[in-house]
A and B are shown apart, each in its own frame.
Chain A
Amino acid sequence: MTILNQIINGIQIGSIYALVALGYTMVYGIVKLINFAHGEIIMVGSYFTWYTMSRLGAPAWAAVLGAVVFCAVLGMVIEKVAYKPLRNYARISLLITAIGVSFFLQNAVQLIFKATPRMFQNIFPGSLKLGGMVFSMSAVVTIVVSVILMIGLSLLVKNTKIGKAMRAVSEDKDTAQLMGINVDHTISFTFGLGSGLAAIAAVLYCSSFYQIEPTMGSMLGLKAFVAAVLGGIGSISGAVLGGFVIGIAESLTKGYISSALADAIVFGILIVVLIIKPSGILGRPENEKV
C-alpha cells in the first residue's frame, strides 16, 4: 500500500470519528456534558440498520433513513428522561448518569440481540478507479458524505435560527431565554442532531468494517471523544480537525509502525497536545476567573 492509500484510509476512518466527535462537541458546548452514551448511539444505529436490512429485508436507503430517525429520537428521549431532570445539579451527577445510560444501552442490545458479533453486509460494494489509483466505494462514499454533512452542519449552526439559538444557549441559557429562545427545544434539537450524525457514522463505519457487536460503541466513541478533546471540545471545526488527525495518525501507525501500537499512539497524541495546549488545538482557553 502506498502512503497515499494509507492517508485515504486515515481520512475515511477520520471522517467517521469526526462525525461522532461533532455529537460530543455540540452536546458539550450546550449543556457542558460529556455524553458518554454517545458511543452507544452508534452501536444502536448499527444494529438498527443491520436488523432492518438483514432481518426485515428493507432496502439500504430505508434502513439508513430509519436509523437516522430512530437514533435522533433516541438521543432526544435520553436527554428528556435522563439528563434534563439533572440539568441544574452538579455536573458530576450528569456525567455519572451518562455512563449509566451507556451501560444500559449496551446491555439492552446484548439482551435483545445476544453478544455474538453479527455480519454487516457492505452497502457500498465496488470500487472506483481514479488516476491510476483504486479506491473502495465505501471509502469514497464515507468521505463525500462526511464532508457534505460537515459543511451542512457548519452552515446550519452559522446561519439558521436554530443554529443561532444553539450558540446563544451555549453562551448563556438564562439570557437566551430572555431573547425569546426556547432553551428546552434547543437542547433537545442538539441531542437529536448529534445522534442523527452518529447514526450516519454508524452506517459508514459498518460498511467498511462489516462486523457489529454490542460493545462496538465504546472504543469508537472513545476515539471520537479523543478527537473532540484534541480539536478543542465545544468547537465544531475542532471536532472535524481532531477526527482527521486521529484517523490519519491511526492509519499511518498501523501501516508503518505497528497495528498493536495504533491506539497507544492515538492516546499519546492526546496527552502531548493537552500538555502543550490544554484547551485543544482550536479550543478557546477557559476564561480565568479573577
Chain B
Amino acid sequence: MTPILDVCNLGIKFGGLQALDDFNVQVANREIVGLIGPNGAGKTTVFNLLTNVYSPSRGTIHLTGKSTKGKSTHEVTQFGIARTFQNIRLFKNVSVLENVMTAFHNAMDYSMFSAILRLPSYRKQEKAARKLALELLDVFDLREMADTLAGSLPYGAQRKLEIARALATNPKVLLLDEPAAGMNPSETSELMMTIKDIRDKFDIAIILIEHDMNLVMGICERILVLNYGLIIAQGKPEEIKNNPIVIEAYLGQQRGE
C-alpha cells in the first residue's frame, strides 16, 4: 500500500543550528504515530515542515502522492493535512460554530454577489456548511456551545474545538501538537478515546506529539523518538519503552557506567 504521507531525508537548518536532519517516515492510512523526544528535539519543527510553515533545507515530502515542494501553507492544507497547536490558536473573538465554518473556506464556491445579496445558492451552501459544522461539534460534545465565543470556552473544550476545526478542513493526515497538555488524567483518558474515535470515524492518519507517556503508549501504533533533530529510535510502544537509547535520552546516562 502506498503511504499517505511519505517523508524522505527531511532536514532544516536555522542559521548554524541543524534543527532536523535525515528525517524519514512513511505513514499509512488510519495509522496513529507518536512523535516523542525531550524539549527542543525538533518535534514541532517536523509539524512546521509538514505544513510548509518552514521550507525544508533538504528532503522531500509527499502527501497523498503529491510533492509539497514550493507550495504555500494554504495549498498544502488543500492536499489534506491539518494541525492543532501546542498553545491553542482559535479565532478567539468568533463563535465556536464560525471557527469550524472557517475551515470550509475552500469548499465554498458561491460568488461574491450571491453572498452579498444572499441569493438562494449562497443560503443553500451556508445551510449545508452549518449542518456539517454542527455535526462535527456533536462528535466533540460542543454543539450546545455553538454560539459561544471560542475564547470564552473552558480550556478542555478549546482543545477539542481546535481538533474539530482541523478536521473540518477534511484532512487525510491530522497533526496534533501536545493535545493533552494541561489536561488532568481523566480528561487525558477521554482524549485518548476521542483520538481513536476520530481515526475510525474519519478514516485518517494521525501523528501526535505528546509528553504524556500513558497517552502515547496507549494509542500509538508506532513511535518515533527524536533527540537533537535526529530520529534515535522507532518502533512499537513496547520496544520503545525498553529501548536503552531512549531511556538515556530522556533520563541521561546513569552514573558509574
**Interface of A toward B, CB cutoff 8 Å:** 152, 155-156, 159-165, 167-168, 171-172, 174-184, 284
Task: State the 7 A-B residue pairs at the shortest beta-carbon distance, nearest first.
Answer: A177-B73, A160-B115, A171-B91, A159-B115, A180-B106, A180-B77, A155-B116
Given A168-B102, A175-B91, does the pair A159, B118 have CB atoms closer than 8 Å? yes
* Nearest chain B residue, comparing its CB with the CB of A154: B116
Interface SS of chain A: helix
Determine if B92 is an interface residue (Cβ-Cβ < 8 Å). yes
Q: Are B105 and A159 in touch, CB under 8 angstroms?
A: no
21 A/B residue pairs, CB under 8 Å, sorted by A = A155-B115, A155-B116, A160-B112, A161-B110, A162-B112, A164-B102, A171-B91, A171-B92, A172-B89, A175-B89, A177-B74, A177-B77, A178-B51, A178-B82, A178-B83, A179-B74, A179-B102, A179-B169, A180-B78, A180-B169, A181-B74
B118 proximity list for chain A (CB < 8 A): 155, 159
In the bound assembly, the distance between CA atoms of A178 and B108 in angstroms comes to: 16
Q: Are B105 and A156 in touch, CB under 8 angstroms?
A: no
In the bound assembly, the distance between CA atoms of A164 and B101 in angstroms comes to: 10
**Interface of B toward A, CB cutoff 8 Å:** 51, 53, 72-74, 77-78, 82-83, 85, 89-94, 101-103, 105-106, 108, 110, 112, 115-116, 118, 122, 165-166, 169
Centre residue among B77, B106, B112, B116 by max chain A CB count within 10 A: B116
Partner of B116, one of A159, A180, A182: A159
In the bound assembly, the distance between CA atoms of A172 and B101 in angstroms comes to: 15
In the bound assembly, the distance between CA atoms of A152 and B110 in angstroms comes to: 17
Beyond A165-B105, A172-B89, A182-B72, 8 extra complex contacts between A and B, CB < 8 Å: A152-B116, A160-B115, A168-B102, A171-B94, A176-B102, A177-B74, A178-B169, A180-B77
* Nearest chain A residue, comparing its CB with the CB of B106: A180
A183 proximity list for chain B (CB < 8 A): 74
B103 proximity list for chain A (CB < 8 A): 179-180
Q: How far is the CB of A140 from chain B (nearest CB, A)?
A: 24
In the bound assembly, the distance between CA atoms of A15 and B174 in angstroms comes to: 48
In the bound assembly, the distance between CA atoms of A260 and B89 in angstroms comes to: 50
Given A161-B105, A179-B77, does the pair A167, B72 have CB atoms closer than 8 Å? no
Q: How far is the CB of B83 from chain A (nearest CB, A)?
A: 6
In the bound assembly, the distance between CA atoms of A176 and B74 in angstroms comes to: 8
B85 proximity list for chain A (CB < 8 A): 175
In the bound assembly, the distance between CA atoms of A184 and B101 in angstroms comes to: 21
A171 proximity list for chain B (CB < 8 A): 91-94
A180 proximity list for chain B (CB < 8 A): 74, 77-78, 103, 105-106, 169
A162 proximity list for chain B (CB < 8 A): 112
In the bound assembly, the distance between CA atoms of A172 and B169 in angstroms comes to: 17
Q: Are A156 and B112 in touch, CB under 8 angstroms?
A: yes
* Nearest chain A residue, comparing its CB with the CB of B91: A171
Q: How far is the CB of B116 from chain A (nearest CB, A)?
A: 5
* Nearest chain B residue, comparing its CB with the CB of A152: B116
Partner of A161, one of B78, B115, B165, B166: B115
* Nearest chain A residue, comparing its CB with the CB of B112: A160
Q: How far is the CB of A197 from chain B (nearest CB, A)?
A: 15
B105 proximity list for chain A (CB < 8 A): 161, 164-165, 168, 179-181
A164 proximity list for chain B (CB < 8 A): 101-102, 105
